[in-house]
Every structure is written in structure tokens, then in C-alpha cells.
Amino acid sequence: MAGQGRSLYAEHIAARQRTTEAALAECGYDALVLSSGAPFTYFADDQEPPFHENGHFAHWVPLRGPHHVLVLRPGAKPRLVRVAPEDYWYEQAPLGSPFWADDFDLQEVGTIEAAWKLGLDGKRVAYIGDETARALAAGIAGEHHNPAALVARLDWERAYKSEYEVACMDEAETIAAWGHRAALSAFDHGASELEIHHAYLAAVRCTEAELPYPTIIGHDEKGAILHYTGKRAQRNGRVLLIDAGARHLGYCSDITRTWTRKECDSRFRALVKGMDELQLKLCERVVPGLPYPDLHAAAHVMIGNLLHEVGVLKIAGDEAFDAGLTSPFFPHGLGHFLGIQVHDVGGRQKDPSGGLLPPPPKSPYLRTTRKIEEHQVFTIEPGCYFIEMLLRPHRNGGKADCFDWKLIDELSEFGGVRIEDNVLVTASGHRNLTRPHI
């Protein structure tokens, strides 16, 4: 990263220093220690899952790998200790000259133990991370490990993205778009779910472990499984639902599209077209000051109206939502914060000191309940699915005559539709980070 990007990173680090110093002062600490985290193995096994760095560590620096330590003190340059042991089992690539190096007092050590020689005796120190045994051995008392008040303040700040973070997410959108275009081309040529997955990986030029989350690639009825991760070998699906993202310098994109082939039922194709138009209208409603649950409720009404237009529901959207008849078709939340984590922190946080804003009783899976504010980045992903376990209670319920069950059964073989973009909240509305790329 050079030029303007390097300048954006310097501004990002300066902002992190300011917000962290304020949080430490409010919570009565002299210093904060963050570690990138420790790998772990599956039960009774020696295999490790893909390693993800501690999000608060990654908020400062895009240094990959476990056991690195970052020491933050008011008025002092951040001290970053990179653990680079000599090793013949795994590659230990040289650090080189990364763009971020000058913003830290950077040290390299060969052992984990050396990284934890903190030099903070006599200081009131907090630690955030999962290497609590090492923090204890370094003299940080257990009650100062992941202190709730400090974590809440840092979680709150992560909701407001710096220009550097937005630039990273823009690049993650570009990379993911390569994959989505390759996936669509493969689908158009009759590829299987597995072949589409491989086409996506090849286009984004990474391994599965480097993706921000496992790809969701479902043909036909599998599109009604919200987190479907199977990869069938059968070819020539009529509908493709693909939910897949990418990373850049630790920041994520999260994009979903639903595509149809000419063999698909025209009524389901109308549903997909209507959902795409509906999703853009929801994006247009984004404005600072709007509670995110209000946007979610608007999505339910709009999906209800779409189902009414297609003929699935015999009543209009507002009446259907009030009666709880849209939830079987749209059972998940409209979206979530996005950043270092795909489901980024703080979405239900009440204020900087902590506390929760619970989701509405009708929408228990809504991950974002905060008020929409400038500099937030979140997803907008309305969906409509034909899920028998959710529809079954309504088949003989008091509102059964509000559904066209014959049509529902005919459309069920096509699974579902979801359209997802990532948006940045601006002073007057939003900037769609996804649509310029795909």
C-alpha cells in the first residue's frame, strides 16, 4: 500500500490511538496488551482449524499468525512484537518491509515467552485476547483479562470505519466480484455446486481457509438452507444461490446473489427480479438516525408485498407482517455489521459502556439493533425461501387461506432467493460498496 493508502493507514492508527487512550482513561488503565491469539486443536486430535486473529489486534495491524503481542500506552508509540520462531514444519516467511511497519516500535523474537516480556511493572494493565495463562504469567491479574467495560468501548468504536478500513473493504468487494462473475459463468455452462466452488476459489486466488467464511453455493432446493455448505456433483441446476466473500488486509466482503437459467419457472424468476429491485429500495432507505430494526420491518412489508404480487400470499405486505405471515418466508435478519469479522461486533450494543438492545420479538435472529450512523458498514440481505418446516404450522392454521399452497408447493423445488450488498453509511445516505463491482 503506497501513496494515499499509506496516508489513510497512518490516520487509521492515529484514530485507534485516540479512541484507545480515551477508553483506557475511562476504565482506569495505564496500558492495554493485545495478542493475535493462540491456535487450538479439535478434541482428541492434533489438527487445527483455520486460525483467525483476535479482532481487536487486527483492528490495529494486518499481521497474520498467532502469538504476536501489541502493547498500547497513552502517549507512546505502539509496541508490536512479532513471534517468528525458527521452524522446519511450517513456513516462516520473512516480514520484509510492510507498509505499516513505521507506525510501530517493531520487534521480532524467536519464542512466545520472549514476546511476553512486557516491561509494564507497576502499571495497571488490561489484556484482551485468549492467551490468558500467558497474561497471568506476565503479571496481568485475572480480573483485568477481557474487562467488560473496556471491551465494550472498543467494540463500539469498531462500528465506525475509517477511510483506510473502507478502502480495504472496497478491495475485498473487488476480489469477491471476480469470484461471483466466475461462478455465474460456470453456472451458465451447467457446472455443479462443487465446480462452481472451485471456479470461485480460482477467481479470487485463495484457498478455502483464506475465505472469510465457507462458501454457500446451492442449486435449486438447497437455496432454502440458509447456511448450506454441501457441494453436490450434480450439474445443470436451474437456480443458483451463492453467498461468498473475500478478504483484503483482514477486512471482509459478504455478497449474495441468486441467478436463474431459462429452465426455471417464470414465476420464480419474477420473484428473483422483484427481490433484486426490493433490495435496492431498502438500500435507498439507509440514512443516519434510522433504527436498523425499522429497516428490517420495512423489508418484511416489502417482501410481503412481493409475495402478494407473485400470488403466494393473498393479502398485502403490511397485513401479512402484522399477522406473522412473512416470517416463514424471511426468517433471518436483514443484515449485520461487517468489517474484520463477517458478523462484526457491537451490532446489538446499547451504548459505549455496554448493555444490549434486544431484537424485536418477531425477529429474534436480527443481529443489528443499533441506530444507523455515519461511517457504519453493514449488509442488507433480504431473502425469501420456501422452507417446509416453517410453513407447515400455517398449512392448517387460522390464516391458512391467506396462502396459495398449490403455488408454494410448485415453487418449493427452486429453494429460495437472497440478494446481499454491503453498504457504507454516509452523512446523507449510503454508498453501496458492492454494486459497482458486480
pLDDT of 92 reads 84
pLDDT score of 13 more than 80 = yes
Pairing label, strands 79-83, 105-109: parallel
pLDDT of 389 reads 97
pLDDT score of 391 more than 70 = yes
Whether the model clears a pTM of 0.85, i.e. scores above it, the answer is yes
Percent of residues, the chain, with pLDDT higher than 70 = 99
Cell 497471568 belongs to 136
> Span 223-237, mean pLDDT?
97
Sign of CA dihedral 235, 241, 242, 243: negative
pLDDT score of 3 more than 70 = no
HSE value, Cβ hemisphere, 13 Å, CA-based, for 371: 7
Exposure string for 203-213, b = 16+ CB within 10 A, e = fewer:
bbeeeeeebbb
> Span 38-54, mean pLDDT?
96
User: In one letter, which amino acid is 110?
Assistant: G
Phi/psi of residue 337, nearest 5 degrees: -60, 150
Cell triple for 131 = 492467551
User: In one letter, which amino acid is 408?
Assistant: I
Query: What does the pLDDT look like over 161-205, one tens digit per residue?
Result: 999 999 999 999 999 999 999 999 999 999 999 999 999 999 999
Q: Which of 117, 52, 111, 115 is CA-nearest to residue 87? A: 111
Query: What does the pLDDT look like over 281-317, one tens digit per residue?
Result: 999 999 999 999 999 999 999 999 999 999 999 999 9
- Alpha helices for 121-240 (secondary structure H): 132-137, 148-157, 163-188, 193-204
Q: Which of 359, 361, 328 is CA-nearest to residue 226? A: 328
Query: What does the pLDDT look like over 198-209, one tens digit per residue?
Result: 999 999 999 999
Hey, what domains does the chain have and what are their CATH numbers? 4-157 (3.40.350.10), 163-432 (3.90.230.10)
286, 423 Cβ separation under 8 angstroms: yes
Q: What is the band of 1 on the pLDDT scale with cuts at 50, 70, 90?
A: low
In whole angstroms, what is the distance from residue 348 CA to residue 248 CA?
Answer: 26
pLDDT score of 226 more than 80 = yes
pLDDT score of 5 more than 80 = no
Query: What does the pLDDT look like over 88-125, one tens digit per residue?
Result: 888 888 999 999 999 999 999 999 999 999 999 999 99
pLDDT of 344 reads 98
Query: What does the pLDDT look like over 334-363, one tens digit per residue?
Result: 999 999 999 999 999 999 999 999 999 999
